[in-house]
A and B are shown apart, each in its own frame.
Chain A
């Protein structure tokens, strides 16, 4: 590991200013991704600004009825918090489908948002990778890409964003609150992560010196009808090959509201609010509806060899998640 400075931030603006003025400085939350990447020399910060003393560990109910999850709330605390698990079971389930108990105890909400891809080439500095070193190439395209993207890829990169939590947040329509040297702003979840395009080295629209302070969940959270399905190579401690977060509101068999996002398929959680409006809202909650929706959502999907199977797996996972969400609580 390279030598680096270590600073404990006591206030938000000081932390942001420090990072703004230090070329290679980075924030650290739980460290479960960043420290690994530093050991592998993929990330080589010259300074680490530890955010853990900042008062960003609360889960609060907002005046509009929504819920704010502080950036440093651990994944475990978020998943098990009564307000989240009762009002946003979709989010609880997604978080608990991720990683392992030990990691979730350490991982923070903001760190989870900004965790980097698990593409094997990205983690190995002995080989090329456009995301790690722009311009070196993308061996994954013709190589090991079993876990990589089928949608929204670019010539430069086919990596996926590996988070489970973010897929649920995308489906819920969360908002990311950030602060920086120029003040606070809110970023819609759909705009937070980006597609690789010509700049696969950039994962999100967050500026380097901006700090995530919280994630806000909207007032309604599909508490009654939701499902998170994660298909993976073993039953725990594996990243999603395909995951689907589906939330529905159903009245008399008709869908009145829907949020559906996919993980394991793209560089960001894959969601189309427009298709939800067109193909789910107002439609009957049945298999025909799910099929019509999945084929539109997955239109243009493309495999790269090893990950071709996702073209088959993705549609059935969407259908299963919607079916399960629609029937949640049926037996109860």
Chain B
């Protein structure tokens, strides 16, 4: 296909609005009668509210109401009303203010509402709560004996482990080389810059317009209509801009619930923004403990693989992520057993966080593979190539494409992997040991059903719309690129609308499926419009396209021209002039082509190489160089794609070295709940990063051949860094993050 936009470097079309402040986020919308709400967070991990006294709070000038479980309005009775699209179907979602029970520290227990934010905040402080505390458990290592095995899926796309293949125990017993190690990863908390916020505008006709920080306006709409008994036509949810989410806004968060509760009860508009500290009371990446057993021959060929994963969840929802399965997917092995177990604790339910499951699962197996390379004296890249998985053995399916070998090869070359010394502690720079390591990465590349609308105005302006979200990933721009490509329009002729329940329905924006799903829908809607204009163009008197079929023309530079002879064309303008003066509008629903995809699975892949310097005295680690090669199908916006991968790598540096939500288990509470103490990389921690996109053609994955890139950039990075640290120091750290105390 001849392209003029796809695959080029395109600046964000929403960039100017963002940097000038014109882009409005959920907590920035305003209504003239608006009230402000502030959440009162609970102090204990498990128990009951014995008493709650709001008298002092209500005396604050400007006070409107303090909602508690005592005076809350009517709420739905059944658990199923509280299930959002991403909730585990077998859980009992949290119902803030429903009753006196407390399920986790920081749980919202009251909502102060006032005429001003300052008054509401002061009121929140004056609410006096007495608790009846029950015993609690937040320490997973103390609760492992209560682990429950996962048997079946309870969320779309989240699979339990496949049945064992072969006999891993026998093969392990017979193997010449054996590894049996446990890998621990901590709780991590999403910290998008934008805090969770909802502005509920109460309209004169008792309907609501809700501005919410969400990765799915339709999920937010479903949630509040079910709980508060609204009909869908009464609730419009908009989310034009999202200041980062990383999975945290897939499920409706409690500020949406509470702001809606207050607006409905008071018949007034309400704005509620959580504090940074309260961001630590929502979903989080679950803590994991993975026991990995590998059996291999002396040459490093895998003979047996066993991954038994334990992951934390809450007491009220059986949330789980796919963690163990990545072990059995990544390499060819005929004897594999994988188990996934959950441990329920008195915490909030975990939630999807960038590359949920793979971030931890791939880290562990890729670290274990490095250990196998050391044990067998093989080069880590060679070891991976000799165990290369030519098919998805977990599902017994072929890959629709897998250019991972090209990733290894191109990244290794750029990184100058051949200069690496395989013996630890052989290279020094000043007071530091230098090490190099690598790892592979993998993430799914699914396509989900999605709808989109394309409208071509008589003046040649194209509007494309879909109820998806742009959480900073570049959805606006990608939709514009695909639309402009389909109709031969420059970007400044394309208007994109998203984040609104009035628009055609799109899936949750997550899982790296948006480009494949919404991108396909947009392309198809634009194709449908193109066909109509083509008819107008062909119908013109003396049209050079009179005898052409739609397949024989292309849309380039605002012209419809014959592919065989581009000098024969009709301008878009001339074609539109032949119309009836009304916009041409097409709405499409697209979904995976099951026939074409039958027998295939689709994934993105990566090879990540890292160089570190480790100060010998201090154990401080500097990640001086990262090269990541990505096989992600067709790249739609090269610049945004590169941004995504770099962002993922920076996150990987944090995962490897810094990120952890530190819980005081006596108090059952995360204590480093602010950005001074919850560490993520700062600029000084980020050095050279290079991204390579290898060529990967795939016409099975979806019609546009693109795979999402939201997650893959992160996967494998922590392992590559950990492996480099081993190469530098000879120390293998199987417990993230690798803080300096683990290296001195």
Does A83 interact with chain B (Cβ within 8 Å)? no
* B672 & A235 in contact (Cβ 8 Å cutoff): no
A124, A142, A239, A313 pick with most chain B CB within 10 angstroms: A124
Q: Closest CB-CB distance, B130 to chain A, in whole Å?
A: 13
Does B677 interact with chain A (Cβ within 8 Å)? yes
* B618 & A234 in contact (Cβ 8 Å cutoff): no
Does A331 interact with chain B (Cβ within 8 Å)? no
In angstroms, Cα B683 to Cα A236, docked, is 8
In angstroms, Cα B738 to Cα A234, docked, is 12
Does A317 interact with chain B (Cβ within 8 Å)? yes
Binds A, one of B343-351, B663-671, B704-712: B663-671
Does B459 interact with chain A (Cβ within 8 Å)? no
Contact partner, A320, options B118, B125, B617, B622, Cβ 8 Å? B617
Cβ contacts A57-69/B at 8 Å (1 or 0 each)? 0000000000000
Q: Say yes or no: A124-B622 contact (C-beta < 8 A), given A144-B664, A235-B684, A309-B741.
A: no
Does A233 interact with chain B (Cβ within 8 Å)? yes
Q: Say yes or no: A139-B666 contact (C-beta < 8 A), given A234-B684, A313-B740.
A: yes
In angstroms, Cα B706 to Cα A303, docked, is 54
In angstroms, Cα B116 to Cα A3, docked, is 13
| Nearest A residue (CB) for B739 | A233
Which residues of the other chain, B, contact A2 by a CB distance below 8 angstroms? 122, 125
Contact partner, B682, options A235, A309, A312, A317, Cβ 8 Å? A235
* B43 & A127 in contact (Cβ 8 Å cutoff): yes
Contact partner, A309, options B122, B662, B673, B744, Cβ 8 Å? B744
* B671 & A120 in contact (Cβ 8 Å cutoff): yes
Cβ contacts B268-310/A at 8 Å (1 or 0 each)? 0000000001000000000000000000000000000000000
Interfacial residues of chain B within 655-681, with CB under 8 A of chain A in the complex: 657-658, 662, 664-667, 669, 671-674, 676-677, 679, 681
| Nearest A residue (CB) for B60 | A3
| Nearest A residue (CB) for B41 | A126
* B122 & A235 in contact (Cβ 8 Å cutoff): no
* A118 & B667 in contact (Cβ 8 Å cutoff): no
Does A6 interact with chain B (Cβ within 8 Å)? no
* A120 & B679 in contact (Cβ 8 Å cutoff): no
Contact partner, B679, options A3, A143, A234, Cβ 8 Å? A234
* A234 & B118 in contact (Cβ 8 Å cutoff): no
Q: Closest CB-CB distance, B599 to chain A, in whole Å?
A: 47
Which residues of the other chain, A, contact B676 by a CB distance below 8 angstroms? 118, 237, 239
* B125 & A41 in contact (Cβ 8 Å cutoff): yes
Does A292 interact with chain B (Cβ within 8 Å)? no
In angstroms, Cα B664 to Cα A162, docked, is 21
Which residues of the other chain, A, contact B236 by a CB distance below 8 angstroms? none
Does B685 interact with chain A (Cβ within 8 Å)? yes
* A317 & B617 in contact (Cβ 8 Å cutoff): yes
* B618 & A317 in contact (Cβ 8 Å cutoff): yes
Which residues of the other chain, B, contact A237 by a CB distance below 8 angstroms? 676, 682, 684
Q: Closest CB-CB distance, A318 to chain B, in whole Å?
A: 11
B interface majority secondary structure: loop
The range of chain B's interface size is: 35 or more
Does A251 interact with chain B (Cβ within 8 Å)? no
Which residues of the other chain, B, contact A231 by a CB distance below 8 angstroms? 618, 620, 740
Which residues of the other chain, A, contact B744 by a CB distance below 8 angstroms? 309, 312-313, 316
Interfacial residues of chain A within 236-255, with CB under 8 A of chain B in the complex: 236-239, 241
Which residues of the other chain, A, contact B43 by a CB distance below 8 angstroms? 126-127
B431, B622, B671 pick with most chain A CB within 10 angstroms: B671
Cβ contacts B629-668/A at 8 Å (1 or 0 each)? 0000000000000000000000000000110001011110
Does B121 interact with chain A (Cβ within 8 Å)? yes
* A123 & B674 in contact (Cβ 8 Å cutoff): yes
Contact partner, B672, options A1, A127, A144, A236, Cβ 8 Å? A144
* B672 & A120 in contact (Cβ 8 Å cutoff): yes
* B667 & A139 in contact (Cβ 8 Å cutoff): yes
Q: Closest CB-CB distance, A177 to chain B, in whole Å?
A: 30
Which residues of the other chain, A, contact B685 by a CB distance below 8 angstroms? 234-236
Q: Closest CB-CB distance, B489 to chain A, in whole Å?
A: 43
Does A88 interact with chain B (Cβ within 8 Å)? no
Which residues of the other chain, A, contact B620 by a CB distance below 8 angstroms? 231-232, 235
Does A121 interact with chain B (Cβ within 8 Å)? yes
Which residues of the other chain, A, contact B684 by a CB distance below 8 angstroms? 234-237
Contact partner, B618, options A120, A124, A238, A313, Cβ 8 Å? A313
In angstroms, Cα B672 to Cα A143, docked, is 12
Which residues of the other chain, A, contact B681 by a CB distance below 8 angstroms? 234
* A238 & B679 in contact (Cβ 8 Å cutoff): yes
Interfacial residues of chain B within 677-715, with CB under 8 A of chain A in the complex: 677, 679, 681-685
Cβ contacts A306-332/B at 8 Å (1 or 0 each)? 000100110011011000000000000
In angstroms, Cα B744 to Cα A238, docked, is 19
Q: Closest CB-CB distance, A26 to chain B, in whole Å?
A: 18
* B671 & A144 in contact (Cβ 8 Å cutoff): yes
Contact partner, A3, options B122, B431, B665, Cβ 8 Å? B122
17 new A-B contacts at CB < 8 Å, known A118-B676, A233-B679, A316-B617: A124-B277, A124-B671, A126-B43, A127-B669, A146-B662, A232-B620, A235-B620, A235-B682, A235-B684, A236-B684, A236-B685, A237-B676, A237-B682, A309-B744, A317-B618, A320-B431, A320-B617
Which residues of B are interface residues toward A (Cβ below 8 A)? 41, 43, 118, 121-122, 125, 277, 431, 617-620, 622, 657-658, 662, 664-667, 669, 671-674, 676-677, 679, 681-685, 739-741, 744
Enumerate 6 A-B pairs (CB-CB under 8 Å) in ascending A order: A127-B664, A235-B684, A236-B683, A312-B744, A313-B618, A313-B744
Query: Which A-B residue pairs are the 4 nearest by beta carbons?
Result: A309-B741, A126-B43, A235-B684, A236-B684
